[in-house]
């Protein structure tokens, strides 16, 4: 099996891991297994009465919740499978490092990222859902997906750049759009990690006001030391409101910038592929904004919240595809 085929297998796993991670957070199952990499000292969820009794003695502050433990362990099993696929990609890239179309740098970056993701997964549990770690873990998942997709694009038979004439200017603008979307994803992760998704239960206003009471100074303290359990959040309502409103303002920035990028590329680009990619980016942005509003209006239903994470991943992939097609000749790998 070559690198591209392995990457094609790894891509749905990376997307699955992102969605499962969201399911873990939304189900309050982040500490469903209070240790790492196993679950209550074993590699599977305690099932029978004897195993559960032993686990409860070993972890008296965290009694076994079988359902939450399974949610957490399924996420870990999927992440471990993805990690093995990425290690295989790295090994193949090393063997093929002297070939003209080698992608060693990207493959090794991917291996390094997935190793760091494993550490973040461990710290998420051992540091009891510390928000900065949860947010970084989310970003690492999106970064892993994007790098795998970039490998696929680089190995594609149609890897030639799309840009024609003035279209080349769109490359930097697309990278700016990707950066803005990544910042917004980080804000979404911070919102989720601090349990601020429903701090504003209405839309477009917040708590029936356009500018409610907010505590920005407390909302964005990145490091509060160790030893605190962050399950269900530690911030007061004003700080959570500040986080939620910042995420909303970020969504507005995404809508304005990516909207402009969509119009510029979908309506005025010379190359047909650029126009199609621009239209896809615009459509996904609108869907994503709609899902965010639905999360507020319907009080964070699981289906809408998971779709919000999946759509963000697809938007990143669309922007990465667009950036790859618009890249200057000789860029990449």
- Does this model's pTM top 0.75? yes
Does residue 218 have an active-site annotation? no
What does residue 147 show for φ and ψ, rounded to 5 degrees? -65, -40
Higher pLDDT, 84 or 96: 84
* pLDDT tens per residue across span 222-271: 999 998 999 999 999 999 999 999 999 999 999 999 999 999 988 877 77
Rounded Cα distance between 245 and 210, Å, is 10
Mean pLDDT of the region 130-142: 97
Q: Which among 254, 273, 264, 263 has a CA at the least distance from the CA of 312?
A: 254
Residue 157 pLDDT: 66
208 and 243 in contact (C-beta within 8 Å)?
A: no
> Which H or E run includes 32?
none
Question: Measuring CA to CA, how many Å separate 6 from each of 85, 152, 303?
Answer: 7, 9, 29
DSSP secondary structure letters along 101-157: T--HHHHHHHHHHHHHHHHHHHHHHHTTS-HHHHHHHHHHHHHHHHHHHHHHHHTST
Rounded Cα distance between 274 and 279, Å, is 9
Residue 189 pLDDT: 97
pLDDT of residue 12 exceeding 80, the answer is yes
The active-site residue, picked from 72, 99, 213, 218, is 72
Give me the residue spans of the domains in the chain: 1-159, 165-333
Rounded Cα distance between 63 and 84, Å, is 31
As a whole number, the mean pLDDT across the chain is 92
């Amino acid at each position: 099996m070559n690198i591209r085929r392995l990457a094609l297998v790894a891509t749905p796993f990376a997307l699955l891991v992102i969605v499962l991670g969201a399911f873990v957070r939304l189900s309050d199952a982040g500490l469903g297994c209070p240790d790492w990499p196993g679950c209550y000292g074993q590699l599977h969820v305690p099932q029978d009465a004897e195993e559960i009794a032993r686990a409860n003695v070993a972890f008296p502050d965290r009694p076994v919740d079988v359902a939450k433990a399974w949610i957490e362990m399924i996420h870990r099993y999927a992440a471990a499978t993805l990690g093995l696929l990425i290690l295989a990609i790295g090994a193949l890239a090393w063997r093929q490092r002297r070939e003209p179309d080698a992608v060693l740098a990207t493959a090794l970056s991917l291996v390094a990222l997935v190793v760091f993701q494993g550490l973040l997964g461990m710290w998420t549990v051992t540091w009891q859902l510390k928000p900065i770690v949860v947010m970084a873990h989310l970003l690492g998942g999106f970064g892993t997906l994007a790098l795998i997709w970039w490998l696929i694009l680089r190995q594609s038979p149609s890897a030639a750049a799309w840009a024609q004439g003035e279209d080349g200017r769109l490359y930097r603008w697309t990278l700016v759009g990707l950066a803005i979307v990544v910042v917004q994803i980080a804000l979404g992760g911070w919102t989720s990690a601090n349990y601020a998704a429903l701090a504003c239960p209405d839309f477009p206003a917040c708590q029936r006001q356009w500018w409610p009471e907010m505590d920005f100074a407390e909302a964005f303290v990145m490091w509060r030391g160790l030893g605190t359990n962050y399950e269900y959040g530690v911030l007061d309502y004003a700080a959570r409101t500040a986080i939620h409103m910042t995420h909303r303002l970020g969504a507005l920035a995404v809508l304005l910038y990516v909207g402009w990028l969509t119009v510029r590329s979908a309506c005025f680009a010379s190359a047909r592929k650029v126009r199609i990619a621009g239209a896809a980016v615009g459509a996904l942005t609108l869907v994503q904004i709609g899902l965010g509003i639905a999360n507020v209006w319907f009080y964070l239903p699981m289906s809408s919240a998971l779709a919000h994470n999946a759509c963000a991943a697809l938007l990143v992939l669309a922007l990465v595809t667009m950036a790859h097609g618009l890249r200057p000749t000789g860029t990449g790998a």
